[in-house]
Amino acid sequence: MSMRDEHPHVPDVLPLIPLRDLILFPNLVVPLFVGRERSINALEQAMRSDHLVALVTQREAEVQDPSPEEIYEVGCVVTILQELKLPDGTAKALVEGVQRIRILEYLEDDPYLKVRVEIIEEPGHADLEAQALMRNLVQDFERASEMGKPIPQEVLMAASAIEEPGRLADFVTFHLALKVEEKQQIREAL
């Protein structure tokens, strides 16, 4: 079974939620707090349809209402697993990254951002050289956790169980204390 078969069909038009300082990768489950009106509208639209939404990071976290030029092109389509509306009007969602996407075109901006996207296909198998590089990456990840901010043992164990090179790179990147720009560069690499 290929990675493509494991995930829902991703339409080429999706609601978009710009993220302030989070870089999300496929195959990771994370909580997401949504507070801006257009983003809440996008979340609600996704919940009414197929539970899929594009999450793409904005270039400057301080910008309240980012224009297309202020949003990176490459992001991640996610499935919304749960949504909880909070008393203050914001929402919390549990999302799972599905696939990398590239924004091709902005179609609407009211009542939420709507974009045309393309799926970025990722190589899925590891040859012998890639397997050796993966072992080295896991060892470096363990060493990095000893030198900087501690990484939970279960995260280190999960890293060593990942068999696809791209998925391992995404997982390690997500858990390292890197700048948003650095994580975005890795997200844009295949």
Query: What would the pLDDT profile of 12-56 be if each residue is shown by its tens digit?
Result: 999 999 999 899 999 999 999 999 999 999 999 999 999 999 999
- By the 10 Å C-beta count (0-12 exposed, 13-18 middle, 19+ buried), 156 is classed as middle
Q: Read off the pLDDT of residues 173-187 as tens digits, 9 standing for 90 and up.
A: 998 888 999 999 988
Q: Are 78 and 188 in contact (CB under 8 A)?
A: no
Strand-pair partners of 13: 116
What is the C-alpha to C-alpha distance for residues 81 and 68, in angstroms, rounded to an integer?
27
Q: Are 17 and 55 in contact (CB under 8 A)?
A: yes
pLDDT at residue 4 tops 90: no
pTM score: 0.86
What is the C-alpha to C-alpha distance for residues 99 and 138, in angstroms, rounded to an integer?
23
